Amino acid sequence: MATSMDVSWQLDGITMEGTVVRPDGTGPFPAVVLVAGSGPTDRDWCSPLLPGANGSGRLFAEALADAGFATIRYDKRASGPHVMENLPKLIGTMSMQSHLDELAAATAALAGLDFVDTDRIAGFGNSEGTLHVLNHAASAQDFPFAAAVLAAPPGGSATQGNCRRNYVLRHQNVCIPGLGLRPGRRLEGPGRGRLRHRLGPGHPGAKAAPAGVFRARNWWRAALPAVHPGRHGR
């Protein structure tokens, strides 16, 4: 049966807390760092802004333990039970870099456990957490990720989408020089302007997608008139 234990560590004078789940046996085990999405989402991937408390992060940790992986999941400094006391200390400091610092500190806490194989640590991010996993993977770290899992990452074309996602992409580019995203011009006009980005020629997204991707897109477009006849001419 898997074993769960709470752990804590210091980052910039603030105590961070997380939960480690380890499989049966002595190890060393491959391990996974679970990174929550945006807002006040806690270590279990629950949010006070959303109904329900299924805790998909906790469920992933339990399933991974059954498969032989140790895991750590953690409360960001702006989430969890100590958020109100932490927020005054975080004013003016929260950024993509501060999220990366939290992830790196959690990874180090996991790597410091004697039953963890430090050469086989993966990052598993959800939603905005995928950006922090990519940031970690693309930067020099004491414990680099051997693999990355990106669940529900920000999607869509980098030249389209809403201001918030493009704002995140712009600041992600600051954190990862050479990522290939270049700020576009701001569009002026009625209503709110929109900040656009272009894919640089060296970015993987600028390359041709596999043929199967285009076939799937065409199948979807062909099915739209039947699904929404009022919107697509039928």
State the pLDDT at residue 33.
98
Supply the pLDDT for residue 182: 40
Round the average pLDDT of the chain to a whole number and report it.
Answer: 78
In angstroms and rounded to an integer, the radius of gyration of the C-alpha atoms of the chain is: 20
pTM of the model: 0.69
Percent share of the chain, pLDDT over 70? 66
Q: Residue 50: what pLDDT? A: 86
Residue 167 has pLDDT above 50, yes or no: no
pLDDT, tens digit, 9 for 90 and up, residues 30-80: 999 999 999 999 999 999 988 888 899 999 999 999 999 999 999 999 999
Please identify which residue in the block is written with the tokens 């020099």: 140
Q: Which overall architecture, per CATH, does domain 1-153 show?
A: 3-Layer(aba) Sandwich (3.40)
Residue 122's pLDDT band, with cuts at 50, 70 and 90, is very high
pLDDT digits (tens, 9 = 90+) for 178-234: 434 343 333 333 333 333 333 344 444 444 544 544 444 455 455 555 544 554 443
pLDDT per position as a tens digit, 80-95: 999 999 999 999 899 9
Peptide bond into 23 cis (omega under 30): no
Contacts of 9 (CB under 8 A, 6+ apart): 15, 16, 105, 106, 108, 109
Dihedral angle of Cα 183, 187, 193, 197, to the nearest 10 degrees: -20
Parts of the chain belonging to CATH 3.40.50.1820 = 1-153
Residue type for position 154 = P
pLDDT bracket for residue 154 (50, 70, 90) = confident
